[in-house]
Amino acid sequence: MAVRNSPLGHAIRFSRSPSRGHRRTASLPTTAEEPSVPADSGKSVSRRSVLLGGASATAAAVALGAEFAGPRVARAAATRGAGGPGPKGPLFNLGVASGDPLPDSVVLWTRLAADPLAADGLGGMPDRRIPVDWEIATDERFTRIVRRGTVDAVRESAHSVHVEPAGLRPGTEYFYRFRARGAVSGTGRTRTSPAPGTLGELTMCFASCSHYGEGHFTAYRHLAADEPGLVLHLGDYQYEYAAKAGEVRTVFGPETTTLAGYRQRHAQYKTDLDLQAAHAVAPWLVVWDDHETENNWAGDVPEESSQTPGAKFPPRRAAAFQAYYENMPLRSTAKPSGPDMRLYRRIGWGGLVGFHMLDTRQYRDDQACGDGNQSGCAQRLDPERTITGAEQEKWLLDGLARSTARWDVLGQQVFFARRDNTVGEGSSYSMDAWDGYVASQDRIAAALGGPRVRNGVVLTGDVHRHWAAEIPRDYADLSAGNVATELVTTSITSGGDGDDDPNRAALDENPHIKYHKNRRGYVRTKFTRNELRADFRTVARVSKPDAGVGTDTGFVVRDGDPVLRRA
């Protein structure tokens, strides 16, 4: 068993040479009862109270000298929440990540930050280029390095690094790490997507809505322990809000409206060791929702109570987009240009899954009837209204019309299936969800039921609850069958601990919706040529960092039959 220093402050263990049919394992510390979670004080976070990654990083900080190090350099704690002043020196405090895998390439990411919570958002780094060496290998000991190089981390990009090594082998597991000025990052594990046409199988987890202040990111750690081959994050990766009284953990800084603020907020989130574990275990596909910028923004329109109304909003949007790109494992094709950023894209996983990653914020019309939950809103039925914009919708419809994948998956943000939120007489719908853009909803649903889509699946976040739904051809006649299924993940922390109310009345009001759970967690899926299995994973609490994880329920969708069956 080989042991590598991870960006978590403890070790991730990778089994060395798995026999045929057995996967490599990355194990986190456990007890006999449940996976252990190092204590987190939950106390106020100061600019000096940062979580750092191990003795080797501390030694590197000493070697770097006064240019990076603060007035003192202490040995970094090996567990979370040690408290007290942290050293200003180690460079890889934000961990490592990978993303957007292709058959011959994958994005490798890190960001240098000697002082992650520096007020200027630049992580305590000097105003100069820092050469960063990177290497990628087929073994965790890096005895079989297949690619290596050097890239400059620059102040203009908050010393973030996006490397896109080419010429890799399809469907292959790799390990990667970075070096800068004598410091060495933790080791990340990644994987290229399989060659086109390959079926095989894929374990994929998806998550959304991780509010730092509302709880501990325990679910991320359990997600990492599940060792998926791919992770999807469907938005609200971080929240713009300032700290509020009574929160579990203290958010640093005011509401984010500037580039410095967004950079600092991303950095605070990235110091969380559970989030670092989830990033280090597998490549990610990410899309944003609203809170990476501002609650319920729509196109060029901020929310009604925005701190940046009118002409102040586009600069805020540009700042949020820039910080998002800097802190995510995205390809250079996604690099923003002012308040514009092309985030929607298509990633194939061999011939098994086609992932259509959507952006339902940047191009949408303003929410109908003043937003919120509305009844009798004729505006939502306007055939000209769009949630995706015309160009993105055409891109999606063309892709579905040409699909050869066994499973076509929409990775997107807001509830897709119709959901009546009024129990009993009358009806009401969320204007922020697809229900507020009925023409878009109907066109995409029709495409999912088209002749080239063998199995349509919609993945959703946003609503801080687990839900599972069938998408019928005709909501007035459920006997007409379904065009697709929808799996909705709950939040990582947003909304707090939650409860076990099954919300039976809402399910009875919407008979095509089959499941609801108000606990925190994520969804683990397994795609094969014959079926999709979805396990709805939950943790009992996020108010304390010691919760185990379990599967509340599971569903199976058979190839060619868009019906949810209990597993």
The domains of the chain, with CATH numbers, are 196-235+343-566 (3.60.21.70)
Task: List the chain residues with pLDDT less than 70.
Answer: 1-89
Cα–Cα distances (Å) from 34 to 309, 546, 549, in that order, read 48, 9, 8
pLDDT of 89: 55
pLDDT tens profile 92-110: 999 999 999 999 999 999 9
- Burial-class residue 71 by CB neighbours within 10 Å (0-12, 13-18, 19+): exposed
pLDDT of 101: 99
Cβ atoms within 10 A of the Cβ of 394, count? 11
Cβ contact 81:116 at 8 Å: no
* Rounded-to-10 torsion of CA 236, 242, 243, 244: -90
Cα 336 to Cα 313: distance, rounded to the nearest angstrom: 16
Cα 506 to Cα 418: distance, rounded to the nearest angstrom: 12
pLDDT of 23: 36
Residue 499 identity (one-letter amino acid):
D
Name residues whose C-beta falls within 8 Å of residue 450's C-beta, 6 or more positions apart in sequence.
Answer: 400, 401
Cβ contact 218:542 at 8 Å: yes
Cβ contact 321:311 at 8 Å: no
Cα 355 to Cα 346: distance, rounded to the nearest angstrom: 6
Cα 436 to Cα 379: distance, rounded to the nearest angstrom: 8
Residue 214 falls in which region: left (phi positive, over 0), alpha (psi -120 to 50) or beta: alpha
Cβ contact 132:73 at 8 Å: no
Cα 58 to Cα 56: distance, rounded to the nearest angstrom: 5
Cβ contact 343:287 at 8 Å: yes
pLDDT of 33: 29
Beta bridge partners of 253: none
Secondary structure in 3-state letters for 285-340: EECCCCCCCCCCCECCECCCCCCCCHHHHHHHHHHHHHHHHHCCCCCHHHCCECCE
pTM for this entry: 0.87
Cα 104 to Cα 170: distance, rounded to the nearest angstrom: 6
Closest CA relative to residue 160, chosen from 317, 336, 322, 340: 322
pLDDT tens profile 296-336: 999 999 999 999 999 999 999 999 999 999 999 999 999 99
